[in-house]
Amino acid sequence: MTYVVGYGPRNDDRSALELAFQFARSRPGPVVAVSVVPQGWGTPVAAGVDREYEAWAAGEGQRSAELAMADSAHHRDLAAEAVWVTGRSVPATLIDQATDRDAVLIVVGSAEDAAPGRVRLTSKTDRLVHSSPLPVAIAPRGYRTSSRVARVTVGFRGDDAGWSLLDRVAGIARSSAAHLRLVTFLVDPARRPVTTDVSHAQAQVIDVWTRQAVAAQAEAVVHVRTLGFADDEIEYGIAAAPDWGAAVSSVGWTEGDVLVVGSSSTHRLAQVFLGSSASKILRNAPVPVVVVPGAGA
C-alpha cells in the first residue's frame, strides 16, 4: 500500500505530505513524494539547447526531491521516499507513477492562492481529479496534523453512486479503525425547482427532499452495521442550509476528520466527472477532501 504525493519543484507548502503521512499513520504504507519536471524536446535540431534544458530540469528535480525528504523528516517514524521524474503532463505522470507503484491514493495540495485551511484546485489538480482512476486526496492550504484519520465523513446522496461510494469508503474506514459519518447536504436552490402558483411550493419540495434523505440514511445506517460498525462508530445527519458554505460548516469538524465525495452519477463520464454539488462541497470544506471516482473507473 503506497501513497503517491504530487510535490512541486518549487513547493512552499508541505500540506500534501502532511496529509499523506496522516493516511500512512492510519493505514501503514510508504509515502512517495513525486516531483514532475518538464521533458526536453528530444529533437536533433535543438540538441544543444535541449541538453541545457534537461540539465536545468534535472537540477530542479533533484532540489525538489531533497526538499521533499527534508519535509518528510518531520515524520521519521514513517517510511518515505522522494523521486523526480520527467513528464509532458503532470497529472498523467502522477497517474503513471501511482499505477506503477500500485498506490491506493494520490495526494496533492491546494492552490497557492487558497485561503489558509481551505481546499482549492489548481488547473493541474483539476485535470488530475477528472482523469485519475484512483482516489485523489486534496489537502487544505497550510495543512498540518499529528493525528491519524479518526473520522471519515461521506457525502451521501442515496442514489446508486452514493451506495457504491458508501461501500468503498466503509471498507477503508473499517480497516483504518476510523468512525464513519454519513451526511446528506440539502441546499435551497437559487431558483424554484417547479413552476406553480401554490403557496410555499419550494418549502414543500425541500420537505419532501428531507424526508427522502432521512429514509435513505436510515437504510444506510442499517447497512453499515452489517459491515461491522458498532453504533458508537456511526454518525449521520442532514445538513440543510440556504447556501453551501453554511451547509458544510454546520456539520462540525475536528482534527482527524476527512471528507469524501464521489463523482457525478448523472454525467455521461460519471467515473471521472466531479459534479457541481461535489465541487461546491470541496470549495467550502475546512478539512482534507478525498474525491473517489465512480465504480466504472
pLDDT tier, 293 (very low <50, low <70, confident <90, very high otherwise): confident
In a domain, residue 202? The reply is yes
Same domain as 286, residue 157: yes
pLDDT tier, 40 (very low <50, low <70, confident <90, very high otherwise): low
More confident position, 270 or 247 = 247
In a domain, residue 49? The reply is yes
Query: For residue 23, what are the domain limits?
Result: 2-138
CB neighbourhood size of 222 (10 A): 9
How high does pLDDT run on average in the chain?
A: 85
- How many domains is the chain partitioned into structurally? 2
Boundary residue ending a domain (138, 170, 194)? 138
pLDDT tier, 158 (very low <50, low <70, confident <90, very high otherwise): confident
Boundary residue ending a domain (82, 110, 138)? 138
In a domain, residue 145? The reply is no
Q: How much is the average pLDDT of 246-268?
A: 81
Same domain as 226, residue 260: yes
- Percentage of the chain beyond pLDDT 70 is 83
Same domain as 23, residue 67: yes
CATH number at residue 23: 3.40.50.620
Same domain as 157, residue 31: no
Give φ, ψ of 87 to 5 degrees.
Answer: -170, 150
What's residue 266's pLDDT? 39
What's residue 202's pLDDT? 59
In a domain, residue 143? The reply is no
Residue of 263, 242, 258, 257 lying closest to 290 (CA atoms): 258
Residue 165 has pLDDT above 70, yes or no: yes
3 state SS of 15: helix
Same domain as 52, residue 27: yes
Residue 45 has pLDDT above 50, yes or no: yes
In a domain, residue 126? The reply is yes
pLDDT tier, 265 (very low <50, low <70, confident <90, very high otherwise): very low
Same domain as 190, residue 100: no
For residue 177, give Cα distances in angstroms to 131, 170, 184, 257.
Answer: 29, 10, 23, 13
90-100 helix and 123-131 helix, angle to the nearest 10 degrees: 40
What's residue 297's pLDDT? 34
Same domain as 155, residue 133: no
Task: Give the helix/strand (H/E) hosting 215.
Answer: helix 201-226
Same domain as 92, residue 29: yes
Boundary residue ending a domain (92, 111, 138)? 138
What's residue 271's pLDDT? 36
Q: What is the pLDDT of residues 119-140, one digit of tens each?
A: 999 999 999 998 899 999 999 9
Say whether pTM exceeds 0.85: yes
- Percentage of the chain beyond pLDDT 90 is 59
Same domain as 228, residue 107: no
What's residue 207's pLDDT? 76
Q: How much is the average pLDDT of 74-88?
A: 94
What's residue 262's pLDDT? 83
In a domain, residue 297? The reply is no
Give φ, ψ of 103 to 5 degrees.
Answer: -75, 155
Same domain as 173, residue 72: no
Residue 84 has pLDDT above 50, yes or no: yes
The answer to whether 230 and 179 have CB atoms below 8 angstroms apart is no
In a domain, residue 178? The reply is yes
Q: How much is the average pLDDT of 245-273?
A: 74
Q: Which of 57-61, 89-93, 219-223 has the lowest mean pLDDT?
A: 57-61
Q: What is the pLDDT of residues 268-286, one digit of tens each?
A: 433 333 456 788 899 999 9
What's residue 8's pLDDT? 83
Residue 237 has which C-alpha cell?
445527519
